[in-house]
Structure 1
Amino acid sequence: MNRRSYRLEELAHLVQGEYFGEKDFQISNLASLELAQNQHICFVNGEKYLAQAEASDAGVYIVTETLKQQLTQKKNFIVVDNPYLAFAVLTHIFEAKILQRGIESTAKIHPSAIIADDAYIGHYVVIGENCVIGANTIIQSHSFIDDGVEVGKDCFVDAHVTITGQAKLKDRIRIHANTAIGTEGFGFAPYQGKWHRIAQLGSVQIGNDVRIGSNCSIDRGALDDTILEDGVIIDNLVQIAHNVHIGENTAIAAKCGIAGSARIGKNCILGGASGVVGHLEITDNVTLTAMSMVTKNISEAGTYSSGMGLFENSHWKKTIVRLRQLADVPLTQITKRLDYMQAQLESLESTLKLRK
């Protein structure tokens, strides 16, 4: 059974902070500053939130030492260097845990599969031949784990997930509902006006501490494997094509599409609805702002953008007209006009100097 409340002193210890106030004060949950009640704990992540904190009814505040000194009307605190990080740690304390263990009677498991004694296999789960499910891993109802798939320890596989293609998943991986991993990549050879299917012979390898959102698709490799390294986090509705390689701790927001054989480095951030063309490489520490389209290699770290920001509709229409007009003007004509203007400016500057 999940525990319902914690003392102030306990929570301070869990986040390696220092408590001030009533050490036995009981806290039942986290809450926002706006909606918190006396039994709740909130975090204050900067001076711009001080007014909200002063008006809040929360019983405890996670703050820095500087912020604590400014909240003179409050009495219960946990003081840390990074309130947001402390908040992140405490979300796991109050998160509802799945405590069931064992195999539900409706699950269908091949006799050759190896299932850890403390794993949980939910209703109507199918686990194929020679699969391995590690210690303390949870697989929710109606998921399909195909032949030869290996799932490590402390993993969470939500309902209606498909893992196939002999994929190999390491430890502490979270996969959310309706995601498919290891399914067939989009590979076809054109010949005489028809598309000829290429059988996908590779697999998928997923490292430790990877998070994959709902309704994602991660294709198996055509020959080599599709690889997600340790610490990769992926939002909902993301497509990762065959043979893609994603480096450690890269974050990919919703509705991104990464085409086949693209290679993305470590510690990158792909903003929502960004696209990456196949067979190119993005170096480490690159950020793509939302709706960017990468059509060539990126070899230097930094922030990159493409597309056009939002305009009021009438302004947008005028801009499109101008862009079309610009496209109709030959580039050589524009270059000649600029050269002429530059020559005129230089002539004017020379005349002014002579007059002086």
Structure 2
Amino acid sequence: MNPQSFSLEKLAHLVQGECVGQRDLKLSGLASLEHAGAQHLAFVNADKYLEQAGTSKAGALIVTEALKAQIQGQQNFIVAANPYLAFAILTHVFERKHAQTGIESTAQIDPSAIISDSAYIGHYAVIGKHCVVGDESVIQSHCRIDDDVEVGKQCFIDSHVTLTGQAKIGNRVRIHANTVIGGEGFGFAPYQGKWHRIAQLGSVRIGNDVRIGSNCSIDRGALDDTLLDDGVIIDNLVQIAHNVKIGANTAMAAKCGIAGSTEIGKNCIFAGGVGVVGHINIADNVTITGMSMVTKSISEAGSYSSGTPMLESLQWKRAAVRFKQLADVPLTQLMQRLDYMKSQIESLESTKLRNNYDD
């Protein structure tokens, strides 16, 4: 745990909020409303948490002005326009930071590599020829950084990460355990019943402030580079194939798979388990809901879905049978039936009108 504590006034200043109550109250961490103690700061960002906030033992609460007026039994607050954003900022204050610098004795570093004096290289890390590791970057134990890879400033590369394919990593990038950046893309040419490997000659370029979770694979390009622009965030267990381009501030949840040469715009959101076919384009500001399969280009911003929503099991089985029955009937036959039903309805309506007129 981080032993540091901060006054309520200081924490309010850090998030540009208003300090209300005991200004010199010392707080040493963040906690949920349920588990917070007198030394903790918690946040409230919706009306549904008001009752819980009133009974919380937290030393202080981050709230909006409107929420503060509705909370009884609490005296110390940080009033902010966006409590969740304020909470996010303060997590960095209480985060346990890696302060160690230097190179561990078991690391293997090629003499041609350039390692900043303020960087840290962990045990059994291997760094190849002509690599660069920037200021204040942390390379944890058992990482492999192959020849000609560049890592920018203030990066965090977790244990057992592999950076290869002459990848270029920007500043303030976080890559978590067991991820591979720059691995060989899945490229093969079929000929006479066999698959012929295509050497992947491109690389991977990752912008600034990118976050990549654990157990991800981001392949280098076949000819052009695979690109992740500034601010992209990727969850665990995500596959990005060769030549993919992802625009700034796009987010992908776990188990997404993006096939090769797809271009994804800025500020997109891909929920868990989304699959995207290759060689298509997706516009800016597109949201894809969970378990959807994107099979064609999307040219307009908006929310798109193709996953099957959950039903009670018996309902789902009935729906699946009916769906199959629809698939087994030719479209022309369905249209003929609909036309017939329409004509029958029109005939009944006409008869009813005549009868009303006669009456």
TM-score, scaled to structure 2: 0.97
**Contact 2:36–2:42, Cα closer than 8 Å, also in 1:** yes
Residue in 2 that maps onto 1:133: 133
Residue in 2 that maps onto 1:229: 229
Whole-angstrom distance in 2 between the partners of 1:170 and 1:110: 21
Residue in 2 that maps onto 1:153: 153
Residue in 2 that maps onto 1:13: 13
Q: Deviations over 1:295-343 (max 9, x none)?
A: 0111111000002111222222222222222221111111100011112
Whole-angstrom distance in 2 between the partners of 1:178 and 1:105: 22
| Bigger mean CA offset, 294-303 vs 343-352 | 343-352
Residue in 1 that maps onto 2:299: 299
Residue in 1 that maps onto 2:244: 244
Question: Which structure 1 segments of 5+ residues have no match?
Answer: none
What's the offset of the Cα at 1:350?
Answer: 3.2
Counterpart check, 1:88 vs 2:99: no
| Bigger mean CA offset, 281-290 vs 61-70 | 61-70
Question: Which structure 2 segments of 5+ residues have no match?
Answer: none
Number of matched pairs:
356
**Contact 2:116–2:133, Cα closer than 8 Å, also in 1:** yes
Counterpart check, 1:170 vs 2:164: no
Whole-angstrom distance in 1 between the partners of 2:66 and 2:259: 48
Whole-angstrom distance in 1 between the partners of 2:322 and 2:354: 40
Q: Secondary structure at the match of 2:69?
A: helix
Residue in 1 that maps onto 2:107: 107
Whole-angstrom distance in 1 between the partners of 2:336 and 2:81: 59
Whole-angstrom distance in 1 between the partners of 2:319 and 2:66: 48
> In angstroms, what is the RMSD of aligned CA positions?
1.2
Residue in 2 that maps onto 1:60: 60
What's the offset of the Cα at 1:3?
Answer: 4.6
1:276-295 equivalence runs, <5 A: 276-295=276-295
Whole-angstrom distance in 2 between the partners of 1:22 and 1:311: 51
Whole-angstrom distance in 2 between the partners of 1:150 and 1:109: 14
Whole-angstrom distance in 1 between the partners of 2:323 and 2:42: 50
| Bigger mean CA offset, 342-351 vs 327-336 | 342-351
Q: Secondary structure at the match of 1:52?
A: helix
Whole-angstrom distance in 2 between the partners of 1:11 and 1:100: 26
Q: Secondary structure at the match of 1:320?
A: helix
Residue in 2 that maps onto 1:253: 253
TM-score, scaled to structure 1: 0.98
Whole-angstrom distance in 1 between the partners of 2:68 and 2:302: 36
Q: Secondary structure at the match of 2:49?
A: helix
| Bigger mean CA offset, 159-168 vs 12-21 | 12-21
Residue in 1 that maps onto 2:144: 144
What's the offset of the Cα at 1:351?
Answer: 3.3
